Structure 1
């Protein structure tokens, strides 16, 4: 009633005054209570950013949220820690003119928004993992595949918000599901649950649509069909859900839903198995390698299976990019993407595949971006499209646009560790460690034992110079290390701490010949042991180890002669062996293959390696010239690392080194 609204408004103004004390010019700050109300509305969620607690007037502590978009508000964290007298004195006028009206609107007008919009049907859904009720438990991939295909069909509807597969798979299992909690975590108003039973060529699919706000069942449906009719089930469900949520279907979207990817049920089963492997995040290389032959078998049974060609191409591009940069993968990825689009020119997944082929295979970012944008229009809820677009924009140096698309990907797939790790990398590159920590901590909360997340947190902490905390982070992960990523990270932190004998012991424990690293080429084990011996002063043993490392490095380089990271690694080893001219040539070759003008994300790493080669070969002028540039740019050289890393010791006695540290100390 009117009196209740007046009381709400009065309280809102009181809150606004207290919240206003915490902001700087341009901020739109909300109390935590208001922000929680807005979280129920999908259009607001991407713009709400928790910034912690603020001490307001009379010492009162309040929790606040910063609301901003690319065009509105102030994305910088408020300066919360200043004494309040100083805060008010230094920016009272600016805040009153630039932010006060916005704060009052946020606290009062937006507070009333839930009432005004109470009858609105929010068009958002998560398709939870289906139960496998088949007698053959190995058919779990089939239940997952049906769920994923229904999800994919829904994701083609632009008027719906659909949560991606990776974020819903954590709800797999027979335990009791709390619809309200799941809806709140994933940011959706509706959930689809279901079960699948397959007996021979007969399929029974049972589903129910649930209101996530009150746990009420909206409707339930059972389907008993032949396996060949499974696509009709998926189409019918997508249309029924769209109707229930009042989502509009365009003619193109309806046509896509009606299209069957294959008429061959055996090919479809093989495709589901392959897709199950391709979607796994643990042991990505091994999973993709298992997916490839299954996709190929599906295509052999149905040579017109365009979707299988597209997904095969994406798996091959990923193998080329992530761990196995052999020309054969690149060529096959392009051929299969082209074939998918020849068979079905308007297939969005085909555009996605061709985009990855240009991106990973050719580093042709403009053509890749064009394909990803086309794919996004056909798959408006596909988080991978936004992730790919954001990743390319990052390489183009368009950091704000990149982060906006990565944030969008995270909103569509909020429990996808890979997306959060990518976003964390971006914030680390920008030296926005507070934002990086927030994202990485969110990922660690989901997977506390994942080295990918814990290792990234250790990197973030180490780059600020807190090596003790970095080591503590790494100790939380088990000792098992089949590919060397954990060993490499622990070795690096110990080297930075100048604990060379411990670093040597860590490297010697690794059983393989080369270690995978997070962002560079595979590192020969003998390169690590040689480095530790050299820094301990045992130069004779170091030279023997470096000579062995060179043999491994040459083999790696011959496998992928266009890989800039392998040229950079090779140049470092040559520099350690005293082969100056060859070392510099390899370092320059790495920069030529990956110039910063072409890649603002990885390019600086090639430049940094060349700077290190110059330092090791006595070309100090060139080393300082590059370092003066690298400490100023995203993903260059962090000043705390420059201060600590013994690999920069050749420059340390030069007066220019300390001058550089002092000049850029504030950059971090």
Structure 2
């Protein structure tokens, strides 16, 4: 009689998968094997630290068993942390991204392998994780939610193949990732590791790193980049004020119709180029890229989009690219009656892409009966090298996603483009933009970054003195990295002379007016930005910042609430709302807002203030301790703010000194923080303002 060797037990099961391994194997088999081995060695060093038992490898993935859900989750976080650190110094082609899925359930050990529902479900969960992410079942989330120092995000309902029982799934929000509404894409913005070093101006919707310094980063936030995979309905849309001007148009993201669906970057780039060309026409009102791209992938009608953006016309189209052949379709629609004012299909070679852009823009201008002034809609700086142009578009597409790995890859693509065409000024701007963003959010050597960014900005200006983005880049160098406010302000004004509709330049100019205590000017500039970017949540946070400085707290609260409505998951939105509620004396409502904050650093800062206002001192102390432990190197200004609120002046000034050494982005807007009022009688406060070259 044979003895059964089966063993049944409850266990946590982890599946991992190396993202993109199969495709890499086809392109470069040797590199794929090298990275596979490095990945295996790295993960195998981590499994035992959490009592994980490697059951087997499955291709480029692992099946690992743990005694508890907590150990499995802690191991998964350690893996992703180690890979994120490793990828920070790796070139784009050597990045290693892993997906991880975890479930806990009954398993059966037989013949050295593991079977059962616990294994089957974990294997189905893993593919739902994003690259660099962790997806867990509801059973795992229930066991670890109060034990793991992390936040969870419930995913949209999903059927698991061959699994009959409905199951909620959750994403573990890693400390360097924000919450996001769509699990299938990487997070749109990572938590800044070194972000408070500079007053950053991002280039697509984004985040501020200092109290009320939010306006500096707004364009990073589309970054909440819309997910083309999602079919979720969009949030309630703001209605544009007044009737739409007939000479107004929104350029929607062109759709990638290529067979492999691998030309999204090209389609997005075409849309962005057309927006840039049309915004130079004085008679034409064109919403900013952030507003037009806000609706990407959402179930929203053209009529709703037009109403939200306040436009009478919409330009939409598609791109089909195969080798050196292009088919681009474009159609101009009058929204009130659905009439197709103009449409055209272009079958061209890739070399003709710039001519197609010119023809589309000219057709739109003609169809809308817009009069062109001399010098309007000038030809943008272009490259004759199509490979360099493709690399540039890929770099910009990656840049807008906002993760550390994407920023690094964007830099690599820009450098490759410039090797092919060193005279391509927009690529020099793109390099400067991504370098600053990567430094601000993810760290690095200030000296190295400063030198590289200044060189890139200077080169862009030398190659094309009329390129507005080149002046924008130089303004960022002068302001964010050198704190030369007057010189930076002059560059942003020059940007607006060249491109009056440049929303980012309007944001920046508003912010620098705020720094200089020119509050009416700051409000006018940010309101101008809002007219051009109706659904960009960043402009509403900018309005809130200015209104706080003006003492108009009700208006500030309304602006911050609009920002949270437009992007509830963006880092900082709930914290700023809580901040103004505290200023209005609504401490309980402020605490509720702070608790919804998705960025852990902002959340701890907000909780320290809100708990203190409510007299919950032990809770406030706990939040402050977490802030000091985890964010001393990136948010010294926030820590100083908490001590200022507590009237512990020596500690506040000690942290202010540290913030100055770190070039904390909170410092230039120190006067906007109500807590700092407690520091004003101290002579050290005026000395700090002089060091910062700020008005006393």
Q: Same fold (TM over 0.5)?
A: yes
Which structure has the greater CA radius of gyration? 1
Indicate the RMSD between aligned Cα atoms, in angstroms. 4.0
How far 1:291 sits from its partner (Å)? 3.0
Instruction: Tell me whether 1:473 sits opposite 2:632 in the alignment.
Output: no
Contact 2:633-2:662 at 8 Å conserved across structures = no
User: What pairs up with 1:484-633 in 2 under 5 angstroms?
Assistant: 484-506=601-623, 513-514=630-631, 521=637, 523=639, 560=663, 590-597=688-695
Instruction: Tell me whether 1:143 sits opposite 2:262 in the alignment.
Output: no
SS of corresponding position for 2:383: coil
Q: 2:564 — aligned with what?
A: 444
* C-alpha distance 553-123 of structure 1, shift in aligned 2 (>3 A): closer
Q: 1:314 — aligned with what?
A: 433
Aligned mate of 1:295, from 394, 414, 433: 414
Instruction: Tell me whether 1:353 sits opposite 2:473 in the alignment.
Output: yes
Instruction: Tell me whether 1:274 sits opposite 2:407 in the alignment.
Output: no
Contact 1:495-1:503 at 8 Å conserved across structures = yes
SS of corresponding position for 2:333: strand
Instruction: Tell me whether 1:234 sits opposite 2:357 in the alignment.
Output: yes
User: What pairs up with 1:424-435 in 2 under 5 angstroms?
Assistant: 424-435=544-555
Unpaired runs of 5+ residues, structure 2, are: 1-241, 676-681
How far 1:317 sits from its partner (Å)? 4.4
Q: 1:370 — aligned with what?
A: 490
TM-score normalised by L of structure 1: 0.59
* C-alpha distance 430-531 of structure 1, shift in aligned 2 (>3 A): closer
Provide, for residues 335-365 of structure 1, a one-character-per-residue CA deviation record: whole Å limited to 9, x for no partner: 2121112112222222222222223233333
Q: If each structure's helix is expressed as a fraction of its own residues, which one has the higher value?
A: 1
SS of corresponding position for 1:122: strand
Contact 2:637-2:664 at 8 Å conserved across structures = no
Contact 2:395-2:414 at 8 Å conserved across structures = yes
TM-score normalised by L of structure 2: 0.57
Rounded Cα–Cα distance in structure 2 between residues aligned with 1:387 and 1:477: 24
Rounded Cα–Cα distance in structure 2 between residues aligned with 1:562 and 1:497: 28
* C-alpha distance 323-422 of structure 1, shift in aligned 2 (>3 A): farther
Q: 1:403 — aligned with what?
A: 523
Contact 1:553-1:566 at 8 Å conserved across structures = no
Aligned mate of 1:169, from 293, 299, 305: 293
* C-alpha distance 362-556 of structure 1, shift in aligned 2 (>3 A): closer
* C-alpha distance 297-588 of structure 1, shift in aligned 2 (>3 A): farther
Rounded Cα–Cα distance in structure 1 between residues aligned with 2:687 and 2:262: 50
Q: 2:384 — aligned with what?
A: 263
Provide, for residues 200-238 of structure 1, a one-character-per-residue CA deviation record: whole Å limited to 9, x for no partner: 222221111011222221121111222222111111111
Contact 2:275-2:286 at 8 Å conserved across structures = yes
Q: 1:153 — aligned with what?
A: 277
Rounded Cα–Cα distance in structure 2 between residues aligned with 1:261 and 1:390: 30
* C-alpha distance 523-397 of structure 1, shift in aligned 2 (>3 A): closer
* C-alpha distance 554-361 of structure 1, shift in aligned 2 (>3 A): closer
Rounded Cα–Cα distance in structure 2 between residues aligned with 1:428 and 1:192: 38
Instruction: Tell me whether 1:203 sits opposite 2:323 in the alignment.
Output: no
Rounded Cα–Cα distance in structure 2 between residues aligned with 1:516 and 1:206: 50
Rounded Cα–Cα distance in structure 2 between residues aligned with 1:229 and 1:266: 13
SS of corresponding position for 1:192: strand
Instruction: Tell me whether 1:380 sits opposite 2:500 in the alignment.
Output: yes
* C-alpha distance 511-200 of structure 1, shift in aligned 2 (>3 A): farther
Rounded Cα–Cα distance in structure 2 between residues aligned with 1:273 and 1:491: 41
Rounded Cα–Cα distance in structure 1 between residues aligned with 2:308 and 2:336: 12
SS of corresponding position for 1:273: helix
How far 1:594 sits from its partner (Å)? 1.9
Aligned mate of 2:376, from 242, 253, 271: 253
Contact 1:231-1:260 at 8 Å conserved across structures = no
Instruction: Tell me whether 1:460 sits opposite 2:580 in the alignment.
Output: yes
Rounded Cα–Cα distance in structure 1 between residues aligned with 2:464 and 2:516: 31
